[in-house]
Amino acid sequence: MGNVPTTVKHCLSYEQLIEDYPWLRRWLQEDKTITGHAYPEFVKIVEVGPRDGLQNEKEIVPTGVKIQLIDMLSGTGLSVIEATSFVSSKWVPQMADHTDVLRGIQKASNVQYPVLTPNLQGFQDAVAAGATEVAVFGSASETFSKKNINCSVDESMLRFEEVINAAKKRQIPVRGYVSCALGCPHEGHIEPSKVAEVAKRLYEMGCYEISLGDTIGIGTPGSMLKMLQRVMKDVPINALAVHCHDTYGQALPNILTALQMGVSVVDSAVAGLGGCPYAQGSSGNVSTEDVLYMLHGMGIETGVNIAKVIEAGSFICSALSRKTNSKVAQARSTACCDESL
Amino acid sequence: MATVMKLVHRSALTSLMGQHCLSFSSAAAHRAAGIRAGQALPGKVKIVEVGPRDGLQNEKTLVPTEAKIKLINMLSESGLSVIEATSFVSPKWVPQMADQVEVMKGISRKPGVTYQVLTPNLQGFQAAVKAGAPEVAIFGAASELFSKKNINCSVDESLQRFDEVMKAAKEAGVPVRGYVSCVVGCPYEGKVAPEKVAHVAKRLYSMGCYEISLGDTIGVGTPGSMAKMLEAVTKEVPVSALAVHCHDTYGQALANILVALQMGISVVDSSVAGLGGCPYAQGASGNVSTEDVVYMLHGLGIETGVDLSKLMDAGAFICRTLNRKTSSKVAQAACKL
């Protein structure tokens, strides 16, 4: 260190480093660690069951049931519940009652109820119905974008820009989603740089958070790590969330990897609602109950009461006449002994 | 400092300073090294396939001997190097394993594949050796209550029984694998102290078991409890002699396996098609599916030697025989895409 000016030596001290670069604290294991990794102390769960979950269920759920589900979820401690989608009912009949749902739910004061708004029309309808937060869905795959919303990624960004600008005028926060972050049903492998490009655009346009979605659940901790490493170069880690599908059973290890990288927002769906439209009969969204079980078991706080989520899950599964996809809910309902740990 | 900052834009210094600062601060360097070590994964993982024994033992339908033999033969062709073939336990207790001798004699033994069998006592060991078993396994428990309810004796008494098996195995030159059940939780006792697990694992290892498989028998573990347990056990038994046997009853198996790999474990037990439910939670799943484990490991660039599509064929075969759906998500998804 002999050639380093005295004035600069001060800034090379460890304590000064930590103060100047808070991200370093995590890298240097100041926080709680398991296996040498620092984990967030708190994880925010974004509950997507009522929208992403129900949207992918075949049976049309009555409005009253949707409202009851959301009201039950509002009482569990969840702070974000994706309530519905202002998309054309011609495309998504399940969400045709979007206005009635948004107006019918009991909005808890400490809960946000984002709604999907694919375009300006949807946004205006959402605002008229009382929406206070919206979401837009981009894709890291050109083919998926064309097949899903009938336009290229660039064209979709122009649409979203209109929504985001309109939202800014009304001070309505916008969450951005990037689909196919770990693979596309049409294109196969997706380059992490493409995911980063789309995430960065959404972030720079004004989305406060970008949820990276493994749309077909094909990702593993290996591909999750590579993708996040690349995206984190362009979007701050505290603005990132992961939306993992459990189609190949990889959701929890993928989420664990994301937590190890510093992500502290996780999307999930009560009872694992919502299958995979690309693999008939397979599961889709990861179950909120299973995610909570893992997080709580690691000493990570979420503010959510798992027993109440299980109840909400049980309610919606009865209404849908289907079994839960949550292993925790299945085990708890039949376990002969109380294994609460 | 202020003078320097005026001359150079602060953000331009960030990465440069970060790198230089890490090397100048010894505390920082030590911690950074710790993280790299924590993230290092084994280049190869050995899968111990327990479907034909642990899996089938927990299936209600009795499987004909020929179907068991065909299953094991198909698994042998998939690249697996260790297959738990059967159990030399009294058929009175475990009717599914009554055809133990026929199975051992009927399978095509592929070179390079080890066919392990369970031997709960000396009598079982002798019958196993007579039937041509090249390797045996013994099962201890980290929970006293579980030991009493499962094999009708205390943990210490069970270890004494195993001592007899160990001595006989040493004389016969037969390797012995040890299992410890209830390593993160017990259906009767609840939480299990990591020190107790370490104690039982150490005893089995000192007695001569070449490998100790740590079993989350009721699948209640999470990366948190798994890491704490492994920290305690690795103080007493070398990590290269440890394996994890995770149940997926609460959906935590793959996350638990990932943490175990990050702690240096490179042997993982699993069951084709996730055969074998949980006897303590009716209808809930038990063993983690080999297909789902292999999918994760290959995605991480870890070699297993296993051909996933041949493995799925074996899983499809046994599920047809049992007239049940696979518990493997990979198998479910792959055939629907």
Q: Are A256 and B251 an interchain contact pair (Cβ–Cβ within 8 Å)?
A: no
Residues of B in contact with A21 (CB under 8 A): 14, 18
Q: Are B250 and A293 an interchain contact pair (Cβ–Cβ within 8 Å)?
A: yes
Q: Residue B160 and residue B141: Cα distance in Å, rounded?
A: 13
Which residue has 């209109």 as its token pair? A162
Phi, psi of B148 (to 5 degrees): -65, -45
* Average pLDDT of the residues of chain B: 88
Q: Determine contact, residues A209/A265, Cβ cutoff 8 Å.
A: yes
Rg (CA), chain B: 23
At B13 the pLDDT is 36
Cβ partners under 8 Å of residue B32, min gap 6? A27, A28, B22
At A282 the pLDDT is 73
Mutate to test the interface with A, among B258, B278, B287, B330 (most CBs of A within 10 A): B258
Element (H, E) at A337: none
Rounded (10°) angle between helices A120-128 and A153-169:
30
At A21 the pLDDT is 55
At A337 the pLDDT is 47
Mutate to test the interface with B, among A30, A35, A293 (most CBs of B within 10 A): A35
Please report, in angstroms and rounded to a whole number, the separation of the first and last CA atoms in chain A. 51
| 3 state DSSP class of A227 | helix
Higher per-residue confidence, B285 vs B76? B76
Q: Are B263 and A35 an interchain contact pair (Cβ–Cβ within 8 Å)?
A: yes
Angle among Cα B317, B319, B322 to the nearest 5 degrees reads 110
At A34 the pLDDT is 64
Residues of A in contact with B31 (CB under 8 A): 27-29
At A150 the pLDDT is 87
Q: State how far the alpha carbon of B334 is from the alpha carbons of A244, A247, A274, B41, in Å.
A: 18, 9, 18, 26
Residues of A in contact with B27 (CB under 8 A): 14, 28
Q: Residue A84 and residue A52: Cα distance in Å, rounded?
A: 8
Q: A208: which 2 tokens?
A: 């406060």
Which residue has 């995430």 as its token pair? A199
Catalytic residue list contains A276: yes
pTM given for the model? 0.88
- Answer yes or no: is pLDDT of B30 > 60: no
**Minimum distance, in Å, between the CA of residue A261 and any CA atom of chain B:** 11
Q: Model confidence over B99-121: pLDDT tens digits?
A: 999 999 999 999 999 999 999 99
At A59 the pLDDT is 87
B335 band by pLDDT with thresholds 50, 70 and 90:
low
Residues of B in contact with A280 (CB under 8 A): 336
Q: Residue B124 and residue B161: Cα distance in Å, rounded?
A: 11
Q: List, for chain A, all residue ranges whose pLDDT scores fall below the cut of 70.
A: 1-36, 279, 281, 335-341
Catalytic annotation, pick one of A180, A184, A276, A317: A276
At B296 the pLDDT is 98
At A24 the pLDDT is 53
At A30 the pLDDT is 38
Q: Determine contact, residues A62/A24, Cβ cutoff 8 Å.
A: no
Q: Model confidence over B114-154: pLDDT tens digits?
A: 999 999 999 999 999 999 999 999 999 999 999 998 888 89
Per DSSP bridges, beta strands A33-34 and A37-38 are antiparallel
ipTM (interface predicted TM): 0.88
The residues facing B242 across adjacent strands are B212
Residue range B272-276: average pLDDT?
Answer: 95
Q: B66: which 2 tokens?
A: 């020929």
The rounded percent of chain B whose pLDDT value lies above 70 is 86
At B58 the pLDDT is 87
Residues of B in contact with A326 (CB under 8 A): 251
At B39 the pLDDT is 58
Catalytic annotation, pick one of B182, B209, B246, B278: B278
Which residue has 């199975």 as its token pair? B103
Residue of A nearest to B188 (CA): A337
Q: Are B187 and A337 an interchain contact pair (Cβ–Cβ within 8 Å)?
A: yes
